[in-house]
Structure 1
């Protein structure tokens, strides 16, 4: 429950109407714990027995759950109150929430007579709460003005001016209100001007409309606007971090004078503050004595030495004015507030959610984006003007998401001192972070890609300097410039990059990469494994045939060939090759997996489980979690064949494979297909969306084709021939180029059966027969609905 005192007097959610009781509760909420005697004398000054009157009202308050906290002679409120919440919100800088909470004047609905002291408290509190709400509205208006939202600033100022229950604005508020109202061209600006004139105040002319966009920095603006007379603030940051933009926004918020640092003559920077330019220290100090002056000096580094000396003296002497100074460096003297600006964070740009990803929060780039200008407009021009070594350092850093500084220095052939100075220069220029990361590097890369030869040369220099496990993307982008000695190292880098894809569970990406290097025999085996991973088994056999006769007998080549053969349904050939592999390495794990697969094809479940478990144990021994989980899935399939419940054996494995796409996709595939085989089609249907997504993420074309064939069979058997045909055609599209004759023949024969095309049906069976799939052909003929002969 909450006590409502703004615009009404009630307890939220309770029909309680005793005004004096609620007034007592409001007093306790706002003034804190009170002695009982003090309350009695304040609320019942004319009563015969004030303590008795208090006791009676406390009885009523005790009837409100959680209203009171009593401690001997003292009484306190334990219930939230909207007026107290408003004050707390303002203290915490939550001005928007505070303004929204103000629903009307404090205790404006009171109808009971009050003693003089209590009445004075009500009126004073009403003014104070309303002034707090007005201050919140004016702060919001100043922030809107700072960000270039003139109309919003004017509307907020108008609300502040006409706030119910608020006293007339004083000489401090009138200039701020006039500034915000004039900025928006609001008709109430004329009224404020008349009120100011009656108080003898001279208001500045209406400011020009603002078109410069500004985002973020709400916290910095609020901190600067809360500085009090005599205080000094310092704003530091590298070039482009928004120091000048912050001062411009501060000026738009009202009440600030912004001066540009100038070194033309002594005190040139401070000359606009007085009728005659200062010519000696006393005159400069006098210009900073006005406690109503709020002055910001843009660039300490550009100011003349005499101005710097005057500002140093003012920071120590506190003559009266609020002083803000910007610089690329930290303050050389003590200040009351130091703001060190860096890139804007995602929260600063929450009004423009796509902007941070495009700009990395770099203030200059944010400004360009808000104005609809190319992000390269200013930074690109600056970079092009730098000497070649500096420019190439920047570009080499921009080509890397996480720069390798050692490799970058090697690519530049710079000594450590030169490279460190160059990097420091780029950082102070606001082009890179302290770690060498280029802001909005994607934009630089996009522009660089338009200069193909120069970009390729930079990529090649990086590729040669980076470790092999990070070099491939740069070799890939510099192929046209490879020299003979680059090809061997590029092949090693490609092998490592493809292996990373395979380990992460993305065989499709590995296959796509190695497809482009099919002319290199050194990559035949990793290429074959990638092709097997996406179900292109015949392509894998073809790739392995490019090896010499000797290399084809090496363990990893034998294992890859055996796996490809068993998935093509040529189990006897696969088991024979597996028999040539010995030891306890990865090749032996593949050999055990081949034997398990052959046993599953013959539905010899105990042998299948045993060989799959051996393979899983070997993979676990070598730390390959993806292969370990995949093989455990095969063992789980065999356990179901021996009578286990599918969910019992598959659920723990799926949970373990959450972050390994390839393993998860294979486990899901086996689980869902198994459910369909067991007739649990409703359970399988629920899992199809997750399965399809997992297979797409893993790039598993074989798995996708398998799913479509199984779904086609389900639709076929239930009489949905149109749906079945769609699934079979989708499977055929996925199988195109994979070399998987077995699945292709199944899809073609089933589709031709639906179409009633006897010739196509026989062609599909001929295809399967030629691939040695005699048992499958016999099964299809038994199940076929098309009559193929008398």
Structure 2
């Protein structure tokens, strides 16, 4: 039992919320034993009978937790530990990470009590002491992070320490301010403002008309590179209208405010005249004293010399030929820094390029609109547009154009004439946002960039529009005959983005490419056909590796799924069904393992929508049906399977039996499920398909396990594992480790179980098997729960629940909630336990998982017994035991619980149905 004092006043595991008795307990825990009268007068100074008030408080505390307060003569004390004690110990030992984790908030935060002056002073002093300890921990961790070069972590700790300094008025925060400066925190501005620093440095930077929105990450990167990492020249590269100039202005203003450069920050716009004398322009911007002749590069370097100055060169692409001279200038002037904007990478050795994408479409501050949406709303207000309920449509428009600022501004300029939904329709691909007053024509800017390309790049660029979600050099060469040099030209001009071997087009540029390609009809058809052939061939080539779980094949599917889907849909539309049929089963395994059930069933239904021949439809119908079963839509799956009959193909028969077995299992008919899966294993053996056979053996093992035959289940799992090892099917091995580990857990062989599950978890993480990992975490949570490690169990189940939600494993979600409820009950957190059990039962009912509904009734019975309500527990257990879907090991658990009950507490009949039981428990179920 522990008393929680940081962030709240709470006696863990006990539903007791009276603040003054809890504060009394906190005082005794931190200050040691005290005499009764002293405590009575300290806590109830205005009471007529302080000792009587103290007695009432002691009675309440000891009723909530017997022995919470004990007496030794006239003195009172408590044996309870507190999180403040743990914090003090962590600080004393230099365990700074633990100290920060323990700090859940101010001491007794939110305490709303009428206290005497002396007690109030004690509470304030405790809050201040805690703040000092935690601030010290943050400073220590911040300096450690700085030494490692982890600037983001350093900044987080610096800001946390500074927040504590400001909130509690602690001693001079010089150390904190030093850390704020070195980590590049924007809170340094607050300090400068609050403490009145010396005169500002020279700052000749334009002042923007509108407020700056977003770009927090980019601004931090610019600052990190130029100020902390010693980079002397950073160029912001991006396509027209992406916001390079506006970002550079904001970065320069930030440099001025923080006085990073003693001799100031200077802005030089280079848009006007490409023939201008660049050294003279720079000298003029720096306000260097004029010499007897116009300065050349050598003279400019001598006159800048040791000056600590940052020059912002906006639009430097016009001076591309002079990049070498700029690089030499940076080398000769040790304190000179350049921040440039350009549509083209200049290619100097000293240049560090930062490619700008659009504004973020995700909120940077919780509860606030994203920077892209905020820009739209601000520009819409200029034309007095009232959007009303159209914010969701605005978000969609910003997402379509990936936050491109000029595209957003152009669309917003029409917001007074059209509602947001109409703007989305008018200005979504292939239609570009267009100017209202003739200024800032986005299409013209993009066409200009295209026309300035060399001939080889102009030839290749239109064909790049057929790629979806990016591509690689191999694909560009196979589909378009593009070489690496041509792609490099496009990347250097920001017409193609390139990251870690992947390339792609911004949606605006993709529309430009597709328009240009449409002007060449014969070439367009040839390019689209080449794209479909290439990606289907690539998929066929990787099928074996995909089923083994090889990382390159999995990476292909993850990275290129948009192109693969487009190729698949084109092949389906063109009637290439005979080419697609052999890929149906391997693709099904991929989608199943990755938990991408919705995406997979759409792939297969795209073929079903066009294939008329019954024989050709069968593999796609069965694949889609399996994924609908995984999504909990059993009736939809059955409808898809109605037109598919067994025949001479054993591979197809194996899939039919797999699907029928899973339908039976989901409805709690484990015996029928086992029979279907036995037939599936036999068909797979006949078709010499090791993947299908091991899948059937796995499912067969699960079915016989559910009937209570654990030894037979173990044999089937081991047979499946041996086959998988022989064929190198690592992805399937991870799944078998999970199932075998769970079986061994139920059999009481915990050490073996944990070894199996951890082996599976390592394999799943190495292969990126996001669908299997949550199951392994779930079963490791089951082990922790069985061994009494309830906090560890909560962590495992919570992680499994998050993974299950990502992969839409609805049955797993239900199971996680049920076990989170069980673990919370063991920790006597009754409110959390009931909440999780209600969510788990509702989820299981929603997907028709009768076995989990039955198990949930048994788990809830445990909760009722723990809260000393045997009558309802007995009724729930009787109801569960009448359900045929209750798994064998859950049935034994329910029977053992019944044996502990006195027959006299069970007068009521079972509920008439599970639905009645759920209604009585307050579980909301769909009709």
Normalised to the residue count of structure 1, the TM-score between the two structures is: 0.50
Normalised to the residue count of structure 2, the TM-score between the two structures is: 0.44
